[in-house]
Structures are given as structure tokens and as C-alpha cells.
Structure 1
């Protein structure tokens, strides 16, 4: 099965989950993540998360948990000048949001709110699928692969990237491309995977 076909199949599986199943999964992952973050000082820890869309694991419970515990939260924004790259902006309950070209909510661009990747300790990212070796299948735009490349090449050793998804998104094997970066952690409602 090609990556394109596998992506479509897994996206359909994700869409077939009921709103109740999705909501329950988001709450379970938030609970597991809260345990994972224990020991990190919230006031000195910045967590990058994403606004879920199109059946992705709901991140609102995660965002609210992070705010409640006092973590600094940032959201990805499509880079306005460097195509295919992400910026990360501070996100609080009163941050104005706008839809980007993919119909995903992101903070309205304000250079004063940009947080460099060097200042982010935990990077939560969506996935369409993953396998037993931590290989991740994303939406195909390469945004997170470009971000992860900086971590993988040793330039961001203090960054912990963690994929978030449903149990149903695990497959036996994902065919990897040269630019794919495997993850060392993935959290699903049933399990915290370490690779």
C-alpha cells in the first residue's frame, strides 16, 4: 500500500470515530500526558501543541490541562516567508486566532509572541499513522519533518517530540522516506509508547 493510500485509509478510520469516542480519547491522552510532564517546572517549561482538526485527536483537553498547571503553551503558525516551515507563537485563552490556508486555527501573527524552537521543551504533534518503530505518517506537507530535522540532527537536544493519536492509527509498518524522522514517544489513549 502506498503512503498516499495508507494516509487516506487511516484518515477515514479516524473520521469514523464518534464524537464521544474522540472526546474520551482526548481526555485519556491529556491524563497520560499530565503524568509524563510531572517533574518539569511549569513556569520554566514551554509546550508546543496544535489545534486539532479533521478528526485528529482532540487537543482542547490537553491545552486546558497545560494552562491549569501553569505551563507556557505555544501553537504552530505557518511561516509567512519560509514556505513549508512553522513558527511557534504564545497561546493563552485570550489570544486571537485566525484560520490558515488549511482551515486550521492558529494565532494571529505577532512577532512579539514568537517563541524560538530553542525555548520549547516539549513538542506535541499530530499524526495520521505510526508503526512499532516510532515511524510517523503525517498529512504530507512536511512541516513537522522540517521542524524535527533540527532536533534529530542534534541542534535541539533539549526538545522532547511526542506524537499524539488514536489506538486505531497504529499499523505494522510505515514505508519511510529519506526525510522522515522517527519519534521516540507517542501517546495514545491506551498506551504511552517509547521507541
Structure 2
């Protein structure tokens, strides 16, 4: 267990270094490539209820995706993380402007506050069709290296128990985040697919 933990830590450090070396321009360029791939993806097109993360500085930018979800009349959910646990909710976003009403967390991302009890939580209603996943590293077998808090693994576990079943999961990544192999254990849930800019 300890060796797995240290392998994950070492890989996190390595990927963070690669991401820190990327220019903002390059991050935006790759984000646009990934977004375009998503907009043509059959799973995205057929999904009605979609969860998407609001990106941190070292993650694929999801602004265009948010706009597109609303433009197509889909229902959009975003995460609310509870920092003292691995619990996360997926709460409904009413429209793109709604984001500006949310408070900014210590991670410098916006999310609904704990006092925000009016919003629909995806699993208390119709479940989710698709979750767009963040992460630090990914391999082509669907293994994902998160930031170590376990939010998404815990949430996907809850999704499995929902009558609708586990939603399809697509990770959005910079090609710098692709690894030969991500070290995982039994709690780590495989993702269905990773979208990134593939080398021509």
C-alpha cells in the first residue's frame, strides 16, 4: 500500500512539473482541440444530463463546454467538494451566468456553497448520462490519477447504486498528462475514455 502511495505521489509531482512548464496559450490551444473532439463525440451528443468540472489553472479549460451544454439544451451539473471528506455532490447549474453567482474556493474554482440547498443534486433526481472527469494523469487503459482526495471514485461508487447505473465517463486531458501506466488499487474506478490531442 505504501509503495503504491509513493508511486502515485512521485507521478503526481512529475506531471505537475510538466503542467507548470506549459504556457497558457498552449493550454488553451489544447483545450480547444479537446472541446472540439468532445462536441463530435456520440456519447456527448446523445447524453442529456452531463456533469462537468470547473477547471483549475492546470486542467483543460471547460468554459466552451459549459456554453455548449446549455446551447444544446442539455442539463448541466457541476461539482461541490466537501474539503474535510471525500464527499462530493453534483449540483445543477441553471445557466452559464449562474457561475458568476458562486463563491470561489481555496482551490480558486467556483462552486455552490454548503448553504446552497435549493439546487438539484444529480443523484436525487434522474442520475447522470455522462461525467466529464478532471485528473492529473491518465493512461490509455482508463486508469486515472486524481489529486489524492478520492472525490470522483467515491461519487462513481454512489452512481453505481443509482437506478440509472454508472454514467459514461470521459476524462479531458492535455497530452502532457498521458502516462504509460498509472499505478492503481482496487478503489480506483476505471474511466471509459480519455480525450486529448493525439499526435498526427
TM (norm. structure 2) is 0.83
What is the CA distance between 1:173 and its match in structure 2? Answer: 1.1
Matching of residue 105 in structure 1 with residue 113 in structure 2: no
- Aligned mates of 1:155, 1:13 — CA distance in 2: 40
- Secondary structure of 2:97's counterpart equals coil
Q: Which of 45, 52, 55 is 1:52 aligned to?
A: 55
Partner of 1:3: 8
In structure 2, what is the Cα distance between the partners aligned to 1:153 and 1:10? 33
Match of residue 26 from structure 2? 21
Q: Does 1:125 align with 2:141?
A: no
2:151 is aligned, of 143, 165, 168, to 143
- Let me know the Cα RMSD of the aligned residues: 2.3
Cα distance 1:158–1:138, how it changes in 2: closer, same or farther (>3 A)?
A: closer
Gap runs ≥5 in structure 2? 1-5
Structure 1 stretches of 5 or more lacking a match?
none
Question: Runs in 1 of length 4+ with deviation above 6 angstroms?
Answer: none
Range with bigger deviation, 16-25 or 99-108: 99-108
- 2:39 is equivalent to residue 34 of structure 1: yes
1:112 match: secondary structure:
coil
| Equivalent in the alignment of 1:116 | 122
Return the TM-score normalized by structure 1: 0.85
Aligned to 1:161: 169
- Residue 88 (structure 2) aligned to one of 74, 80, 86: 86
Structure 1 residues 93, 181: closer, same or farther in 2, change over 3 A? same
Query: How many Å apart are 1:122 and its aligned residue?
Result: 0.9
